[in-house]
Chain A
Amino acid sequence: MNTVMAQKKKQISMPADSIRWLNGFTVNVDVASLATSTFISNGIYSSEAGIQLDLKHKFFPTLEVGVAGANKVSNDNINFKTNGLFERIGVDFNLRKKKPDSKPTNNLFTAGIRLGMSNFNYNVTNVSITDNYWGGSSIIDYPTQNTTKIWYEFVVGVQVEVIRNLYLGWNIRVRNLLSTDITGEVSPWYIPGYGQNNGSNYGFNYTLGYHFWQQKKIVKKTSVILIQKKEK
C-alpha cells in the first residue's frame, strides 16, 4: 500500500522528464509598437512579430522580424526619412525554477539576448548652411543613403498563458550598437528595429502570442489512473 502511494506521488511530481526537446513554438505579435505608432506618432512607426521555439521549456531560440520607419523634421527644418526591415535572432532562458510541489505551468519568466540587424535606405534633406561673416547660404540634400547597423540587446520578460495556447507577455530591452558610424557618413537619426541613433536605447514590447503544437499531457494522466486501478 505504502509503496503504491509513493509511486503515485513520484509519477505526478515528475512532469519535467516527460517534456520533449521540441515542445512546439509560439508566434508573437508586438502590440506595443503598433499602439505607439498609432497614438504617439512623432513621425515614427514600427511593427514586429516573432517566432519562439520551446526547447525543453528551458531554452527559447527566437527570431523577430519587423518593419519600421521615421519621418522627422528637426528644429532647423532638416528632414530625415527612412523605411526599412529589421531582424533579430537570439535566445531566451526560462528563469522560473520549478518547485517540486507546484502545479506544472506554461507561464514564463525569461531573460535573453538578441543580435539585431538592419540594412536600410534613408534621406536627409533641406540641410541649410550659412556663412555669418562672409555671407551666403546653401541647401544640401543627402538623398538615398544606405547603411547596415548591427546591435545587441538584453531582454527580460514574462509570458502568461491566459487561455489555452494564448499568451500575453511583456518584455523590456536595453540596446547597444555594435557598429559605429563610419567617418564622413551621414549618420541616420533613426535605425529600424533599434530606435534613435543616440547611444544606448531602451525598448518595450507587449506581445500577444499563440502557441502551436503544444505537448499533450495525456500520457502522464493515464499512468496515474492505472496505478489507482491497481490500488483497488
Chain B
Amino acid sequence: MKKYSFIVFVFSLFLIISCASDETCTQTKYVKLTVNFYHPNPLDTIIANRITTLSIDSLTVQGLKKDSSGKYTPVDSILYNNQKNVSTINLPLNNFSTSSIFKIRFNAITDTMTITHSNLNDYLSLECGCIITHTIDSVIMTNHYIDSARIKIHDVNTINAENIRLYNKFK
C-alpha cells in the first residue's frame, strides 16, 4: 500500500511540474542610450579634479522628428521636462531610422545632438519577443552650451553602460 501511495505522489508531482510553465517575460527589454555630463578643469593642480561630474540645474530633452514635408518637428512627448539637478540621462534611439535627433536645453541654452546609428533585431524568447539594439556610428553636437562629445561605448542595449560623454565649455 505504501508503495502505491508513493507512486501516486511521484505521478502528481510531475503533473504539477509540467503544468507550471512560466509564460511571462522576466528579462528586461528596455534599451537605452546613457549620456553623462562632465565639466573640464584643465588647469586644476589635482589631476583627479580636471574632469568632474556636471549637474545641470534645469534640463529639458525632446526628440526631433522629420515630418512628411521634410521639416524637423518635436516629438509629442517630452523625455525630460525641466528636470532639476541632472548629471545623467537615458534616451531612446529610433528603432526604424538610422538617425536620432535630440533637442537638449541646458538651463536657458539649447543644443542639438544628432546620433547616427545602425539597428539590429535581437530575438530574446517566445515570452519576451524581440528588441532592437543599436550601434552608435557618430555623434554631432551643436556648441552653444556643450563644448565636445565623446563616444565611450558604441553598443546600446539593455546593459547599463556609459555610451556618450558630453563636456560643457570651460570658463
- A80, A129, A131, A204: the one contacting B121 at CB < 8 Å is A129
User: Within 8 Å of chain B (Cβ to Cβ): is A76?
Assistant: yes
Residue of chain A at shortest CB distance from B65: A134
- Give the interface SS of chain B, mostly helix, strand, loop or mixed: mixed
User: Within 8 Å of chain A (Cβ to Cβ): is B47?
Assistant: no
Binary contact readout B2-27 vs A (1 if CB under 8 angstroms, 0 otherwise):
00000100110010011001111000
A131 and B94 contact, CB distance less than 8 A: yes
Binary contact readout A184-199 vs B (1 if CB under 8 angstroms, 0 otherwise):
1011010000001010
Contact count band on A: 20 to 34
Residue of chain B at shortest CB distance from A186: B123
- A76, A127, A198: the one contacting B123 at CB < 8 Å is A127
User: Within 8 Å of chain B (Cβ to Cβ): is A51?
Assistant: no
The interface residues of chain B lying within 8 Å CB-to-CB of A202 are 14, 17-18
Residue of chain A at shortest CB distance from B91: A133
User: Within 8 Å of chain A (Cβ to Cβ): is B100?
Assistant: yes
CB distance from A139 to the nearest CB of B (A): 10
- A133, A140, A172, A187: the one contacting B14 at CB < 8 Å is A172
CA distance A142 to B126 in the complex (A): 12
User: Within 8 Å of chain B (Cβ to Cβ): is A155?
Assistant: no
CA distance A172 to B38 in the complex (A): 60
Given contacts A74-B129, A75-B127, A138-B96, 5 further A-B contacts (CB under 8 A): A72-B126, A127-B129, A133-B75, A134-B94, A204-B18
B residues within 8 Å of A by Cβ? 7, 10-11, 14, 17-18, 21-24, 63, 65, 75, 77, 79, 92, 94-97, 100, 121-123, 125-127, 129-132
